[in-house]
Amino acid sequence: MRHQPVLLVIAHGSRDPRHAATVHALVRRVRAKRPGLRVETGFLDFNIPSVNGVLESLAAEGVRDVVALPLLLTRAFHAKSDIPAVLRAAPRRLRIRQAEVLGPSPLLLSALERRLYEAGLTPADKSSTGIVLASAGSTDPEALAVIADLAREWRHTGWRDVRPAFASASGPRTEDAVRALRELGCARVAVARYVLAPGFLPDRIARGAAEADVLADVLGPAPEVARVLLERYDEASLPALAAVG
């Protein structure tokens, strides 16, 4: 029987208790979708257990193979620097593969639309509604380009227009994008929060959406997000499975 690597979901962590609660809810959904898979959660900061602590515990148990999955939507500083540094410091007996970040993925667009419909929009509203695709923001040009590409892709599915916005590091801000869509003549303006869990920056996005007609919830434990996690795990675990097959 082939050995399944442990899935270690690596979340950023936050002082806001809603963040960890949302991460744990998402991990519970992942476990429900793949009952035979061992899934652990570690945080880079603020919350416990820490990533280091989980890795040390796994090594002490005799675990050999781990897929470390960054709970991130874009490849920015944390995925390129912070997480690899933490993984390099892990016990040497562990074979760790870092999975790709969650985005971009068509499933995440489906999750964004799910949240908009839950907030009150319908498919019939698409052609008259402008969407603000609001993300946390980054100083990494690659991450910003991914958000801009996602906005263009989403616009082609039938929305009147889709504008990117960022809560930190770069503009435009959510409120700027809302006003731009008003000036374009959109009958409705909706803000889709392209973030995984509540916290400081998602709250800033919400404040910037004060003049919008609709504010969608964060992605959170949407079933589409759980499916993306398992896709990234499967992609990363294939080499490990082949090595022992």
Report pLDDT digits (tens) over 146-191.
999 999 999 999 999 999 999 997 889 999 999 999 999 999 999 9
What is the pLDDT of the chain when averaged over all its residues? Answer: 95
Lookup: tokens for 183:
């000036």
Higher-confidence position of 189 and 240: 189
Q: Which residues pair with 70 in a beta bridge?
A: 10
Provide the pLDDT confidence category of residue 244 given band limits of 50, 70 and 90. very low
CA separation for the pair 91, 97 (Å, rounded): 14
pLDDT at position 238: 85
Contacts with 62 (C-beta within 8 Å, 6 or more apart), sequence order: none
Q: Which percentage of the chain shows pLDDT scores above 90? A: 89
Which is more confident, 202 or 244? 202
HEC profile of 69-108: EECCCCCCHHHHHHHHHHHHCCCCCCEEEECCCCCCCHHH
What is the pLDDT, as a whole number, of residue 2? 61
pLDDT of 243 over the 90 cut? no
pLDDT at 79: 84
